[in-house]
Amino acid sequence: MLYCLRPMVHREYYIDRLRTVMTAMVLFAHSAITYGGTGNWFYTEIQNQQSRSSILLTLYIVTCNAVLMGFFFLLAGYFTPASLEHKGYRRFVLDRCLRLGLPLLTFGLVIAPLTIAMVARAGGHGFTETLLGLSRSREFVNGPMWFAEALLIFSFGYCLYRGVTGRKDHSSVEQRSATIPRSRTWILSALAVGLAALLIRQVFPVDERVLGLWLADFATYIFLYALGVAAWRRNWLNQLTWHNARLSIIIACVAWPILPFAVAVFAASGRTASTVRGFDAANVALAFWEPLVAWGAMAAAILWFRTRFNQPSRFWSWLGRRAYAVYVIHPFTLVAFSLMLRHWHGQALIKFCVTGIAACVVTWLVADPLVRLPGVRHIL
């Protein structure tokens, strides 16, 4: 998602490919919310949570929520130590403020209000009046840019940790290989993260934001960001093998089918995965299900992409260079496309696919001139 300069002996092309695919999957997840899946989004056309299409779209959304954003934090942490070593504290903090803080502010002050006003206009309300109302209320909507807000906090936290402990990385260009922890360690870490998430959710439920952040998921995000830092220092990503990841992948495959059953039960009772509370069996199951599935899914994705997508490609490079810009601007383009198709009485799953594909194509094309603009290209 976020491209940090990092001196290295060889380019890890597969990581760029992973971030590009995950960006597209985020866009499709928001398209899924539009057409009946559970979640928060600027525009929802279908809200029937009990239909078969809504259940299928919710399956996709919950799976993406468990895997994608944590994966982004893992990769962000992976590039952080060398970036800090290469740039130094002052330049690193300035770079994070420009590449994370400025897009966050632009989204909250420009893109989000325009998107909300566009939806209001489609609903028969005034476009200008909506913008003025948002301005008077001083409401700051960070939308999917909560990720940039969280990563900005994590980056500052890492700098503080390095400053307080006086820790020095061995080199910004060399990595010391260390043995990857055993399979049982990863399983125990997933259970520990699940327990931490369950306890956090007693205070901050799954569907509640605090300062625009989904704190219910922060046990996973903090762990994976720290894991990314450790993975870079110990060269774990390049050492990972199918043998290392086998148990985690098997557990993920066994655990994932629990989700369709749970979603169906939620739908039958008029609930969604985001409405569970306390130590309800569903809340306990969801808290542990997420890391158990995510660990195996991420390991499998890393291995598969490293094997098949680790070669130079002009097309993949073009897509990857624009992925961050796509992430920032996609709410406006996706909602615009959804509104254009709102009078088309097609099936929800078909509209989900058509809107997702079209929005991906359009957003990447719109992002192309943005990343070429002087000044902007150094941020996006």
How confident is the model over 14-54, as pLDDT tens digits? 999 999 999 999 999 999 999 998 888 999 998 766 788 88
Name the average pLDDT for the chain: 88
- The domain in which residue 359 lies consists of 13-378
Residue 172 pLDDT > 50: no
* Position 292 in a domain: yes
- pLDDT recorded at residue 134: 87
* Position 310 in a domain: yes
The number of beta carbons lying within 10 Å of the beta carbon of residue 167 is 9
C-alpha to C-alpha distance for 324 and 376, rounded to whole angstroms: 12
Residue 128 pLDDT > 80: yes
* Position 3 in a domain: no
Instruction: Please choose, from the candidates 230, 375, 313, 249, the residue with its C-alpha nearest in 3D space to the C-alpha of residue 16.
Output: 313
* Position 186 in a domain: yes
* Position 2 in a domain: no
Instruction: Please choose, from the candidates 206, 249, 247, the residue with its C-alpha nearest in 3D space to the C-alpha of residue 38.
Output: 206
Number of folded domains that form the chain: 1
* Position 182 in a domain: yes
- pLDDT recorded at residue 210: 86
| Cα pseudo-dihedral 151, 154, 160, 166, rounded to 10 | -100
Determine the angle formed by the axes of helices 314-321 and 323-340, rounding to 10 degrees. 80
* Position 111 in a domain: yes
* Position 1 in a domain: no
Q: State how far the alpha carbon of 346 is from the alpha carbons of 21, 200, 237, in Å.
A: 27, 41, 43
